[in-house]
Structure 1
Amino acid sequence: MIEILNSTELAKARHTGALVADILQTVKSRTAAGTNLLEIDQWTKAMIVEAGAESCYVDYAPSFGRGPFGHYICTSVNDAVLHGLPYDYTLAEGDLLSLDLAVSLGGVAADSAISFVVGESKPPESVALIDATERALRAGIAAAGPGARTGDISHAIGSVLREAGYSINTDFGGHGIGSTMHQDPHVSNTGRPGRGYRLRPGLLLALEPWIMEDTAELVTDADGWTLRSATGCRTAHSEHTIAITEDGAEILTLPKRANA
């Protein structure tokens, strides 16, 4: 299913995107060495409930997971990159943490992810991983607009990641989003320009470049959800929900201070 939102629905999407961005930034600001992943999940739950929103994850039970997910945010640490199931783990100085959050408010969903290093120690390799995904995300957004195709976005993202020296896994990527979290079209993190679905104003896309330091192979954790690098190397993940507009693309999941 591909949804094209009207102006009323787009206004709701902006509110949802702002909520997702604010929750992620609040969680990041509270997180330090000594924070437990289950604390992060509880903080997220409290903010979602307070906003009168709904989690897209608690009852999420796709074919690839051991569902339902049962938590409010994905917390992926170090070699975990996607669908990190929160568990009783206390973060340490220098851990690389990726947070992925999808929320529905007013019947419209938004999805975003950030990666950061916990504490003051910033290993250069981890910083480089995060920087590559953020630059790839910016490139993908710059390639999006009315009349462009999903392949143009995929090519832009993949070009940045490959130039940075990383291989690309195509099992999971970006996606359409609207009244539900995951919709068509799929947006791979690499592809050929000029191919795929032609973008139209009112389309929402969640773009999410993610990489692993020295492999493109994933393994599934014993929890049935968490996806890790096959070699145990570190990983990073960045994501924004965007709306295709008449003249480009609008990022819906920017934190307020980034909009200032």
Structure 2
Amino acid sequence: MVELKTPSEIDAIAAAGAVVADVLAAVRAQAVPGVRVSDLDAAASELVAGAGARPTFLNYHPRFAPTPYPAVTCISVNDAVVHGVPGPQVLADGDLVSIDLAVHLDDWCADSAISFVVGAADPGDLALIDTAERSLLAGIDAALAGNRLGDVGHAIQAVARAARYGMLADHGGHGVGRQMHEAPHVPNEGKRGRGMRLEPGLVFAIEPMLIAGGTDRYRHDEDGWTLRTADGSRAAHVEHTIAVTESGPRVLTSKG
């Protein structure tokens, strides 16, 4: 069931979103060549706790996963698209890194992700990230009251497919509120004028996941969580939690 949020509840989600944005920015600043991915997760853990929030991913155990998620962040490097488990890997110059973080603050959740390159960047990686960010913004711009979910998905795919990138199959955004994953599912592809009508008070995450090689296919790592591109090409993942309002879409995971 889709639950519409009140203005005060949207403000509460935005407070959680400000924590997410601040932590992501701080962790990104620490992501330099020679740093262990697990150290970035440890830094995020301290920052989340210091903000009085609770890490949503830690011990999250959906039906598809063999074990509870063991970390505060998902950190996916190079050909890892999403759900990368932070470990002892040391970042190298030119690595493409995606960091996904969700927190609960005062029982309300917000979820966001960023992608960037560590050190010297390959122009192809920068183009991939730029396209992912532009597809996210296009999806946000389409999240208008009276539009439909298909309009959001169509806006995302129009940017991504025009650049000939793949899009992670079977994955998309989701409703956000007291739980990290609520209805509705928010596909990254769609047809204009199709799907659920968007109403003020609807809160959901939009998260394009683009693959440089053009394939939509992926494979699972042995950890049961990390999803990698089937062709070994690099990937970018960006995400914002947004609210549909009478005055237009409101980004709830912007920096406080």
Q: TM-score, normalised by structure 2?
A: 0.97
Report if aligned partners of 1:143, 1:153 keep a CA contact under 8 Å in 2.
yes
Superposed, 1:68-83 pairs within 5 Å as 68-83=68-83
Question: What's 2:147 paired with?
Answer: 148
Superposed, 1:126-137 pairs within 5 Å as 126-137=125-136
Deviation for aligned residue 1:210: 0.8
Question: What's 1:194 paired with?
Answer: 193
Question: What's 2:242 paired with?
Answer: 242
Deviation for aligned residue 1:177: 0.5
Question: What's 2:171 paired with?
Answer: 172
Unaligned runs of 5+ in 2: none
- Secondary structure of the structure 2 residue equivalent to 1:15: helix
Q: Distance in 1 between matches of 2:232 and 2:166?
A: 15
Question: What's 1:25 paired with?
Answer: 25
Superposed, 1:47-126 pairs within 5 Å as 47-119=47-119, 121-126=120-125
Task: Say whether 1:42 aligns with 2:42.
Answer: yes
Q: Distance in 2 between matches of 1:154 and 1:115?
A: 20
Q: TM-score, normalised by structure 1?
A: 0.96
Deviation for aligned residue 1:254: 1.6
Unaligned runs of 5+ in 1: none
Deviation for aligned residue 1:59: 1.8
**Over the residues paired in the alignment, what is the CA RMSD in angstroms?**
1.0
Deviation for aligned residue 1:10: 1.4
> For structure 1, which segment, 12-21 or 1-10, has the greater mean C-alpha deviation from structure 2 after superposition?
1-10
How much identity, in percent, do the aligned residues show? Answer: 47
Deviation for aligned residue 1:255: 2.1
Deviation for aligned residue 1:52: 1.4
Deviation for aligned residue 1:200: 1.2
Amino acid at match of 1:128: A
Deviation for aligned residue 1:122: 1.0
- Secondary structure of the structure 2 residue equivalent to 1:241: strand
Deviation for aligned residue 1:67: 2.4
Question: What's 1:14 paired with?
Answer: 14
Report if aligned partners of 2:167, 2:208 keep a CA contact under 8 Å in 1.
no
Q: Which runs of 4+ in 1 moved over 4 A?
A: none
Amino acid at match of 2:159: V
